[in-house]
Amino acid sequence: MSKYKSLKEECYEANMELNALGLVIYTFGNVSAVDRDNGVFAIKPSGVPYKKLKPSDMVILDYDNVIVEGDLRPSSDTKTHSYLYKNWENIGGVAHTHAMYSVSWAQAQRDIPIFGTTHADHLTQDIPCAAPMADDLIEGNYEHNTGIQILDCFSSRNLDYNEVEMVLIGNHGPFAWGKNAAKAVYNTKVLETVAEMAYLTLQINPNAPRLKDSLIKKHYERKHGKNAYYGQ
């Protein structure tokens, strides 16, 4: 029996949840889960429909994309996942989708402004939309370079991946992460919801103001601050 059985199961469950939440059609998404002790992560195999997916189909790789276990080809976006795991040591899961509203903001090449408390309950910043990559980066090691693009975006904007657990890649779509795969999926759903709310807000009032700082701080702190009183 595989020593990665529970890791594969965590990864499998998170992928199935992505589908159950309506965030993917066909095979347009992938979730991975990391095992920091063993320096490996599990990821969805490429192009396998959800209804045929089994926990044992998950592919195990190290952070240099060497397959450690698994008979199937891993997700075509694997190198973006591994780059994030290698560089961001606190994250435990990564999710990528082509969810409708997130993709539409990415195609519009716009950051999602922080308009309300639903957003501030999760992060204090606009959701960043990284610029499309330079041609040579696209033509080169594309998925690896997508990881670089994400880190460059966070670096140039002084964003902390421990707080901002989501990003849009211009013209492509969202990546989200978190302490484990389930949290990465949760953040993907939150991003999609906030993206739809921001879209509708601008339709109703093109001059809708950004959320004021005091409300941003209050809502973020009551859920994530040291005196947080949300949850059990």
Catalytic residues: 121, 230
109 binds its own copies (CB under 8 A): yes
64 binds its own copies (CB under 8 A): no
**Strand pairing report for 93-97 and 67-69:** unpaired
What would the x/- binding string for its own copies be over residues 23 to 52, using CB under 8 A? --xx-x----------------xxxx----
The interface region with its own copies, picked from 22-30, 35-43, 81-89, 147-155 by CB under 8 A, is 22-30
229 binds its own copies (CB under 8 A): yes
Among 139, 141, 157, 162, contact with its own copies (rule: CB under 8 A): 139
Sign for the CA dihedral angle at 105, 19, 165, 221 comes to: positive
212 binds its own copies (CB under 8 A): yes
**Strand pairing report for 129-130 and 166-169:** parallel
**Strand pairing report for 67-69 and 29-35:** unpaired
Distance in Å, CB of 42 to its own copies, minimum: 17
Q: What span, in angstroms and rounded, lies between the C-alpha atoms of 40 and 42? A: 7
Among 148, 151, 208, 224, contact with its own copies (rule: CB under 8 A): 208
115 binds its own copies (CB under 8 A): yes
204 binds its own copies (CB under 8 A): yes
209 binds its own copies (CB under 8 A): yes
Nearer to its own copies, 49 or 158 (CB): 49
What would the x/- binding string for its own copies be over residues 77 to 96, using CB under 8 A? --------------------
Query: What DSSP string describes the chain?
Result: --TTHHHHHHHHHHHHHHHHTT--STT-EEEEEEETTTTEEEEPBTT--GGG--GGGPEEEETT--EEE-SSPB-TTHHHHHHHHHH-TT--EEEEE--HHHHHHHHHT--B---SHHHHTT-SSPBPEEPPPPHHHHHSSHHHHHHHHHHHHHHHTT--TTT--EEEETTTEEEEEESSHHHHHHHHHHHHHHHHHHHHHHHH-TTPPPPPHHHHHHHHHHHHSTT--S--
Nearer to its own copies, 13 or 35 (CB): 13
186 binds its own copies (CB under 8 A): yes
- Positions touching its own copies (CB under 8 A) are 25-26, 28, 45-48, 72-73, 76, 98, 100-101, 103-110, 115-118, 132-133, 135, 138-139, 142, 171-173, 186, 189, 193, 196-205, 208-209, 211-212, 214-215, 218, 222-223, 229-232
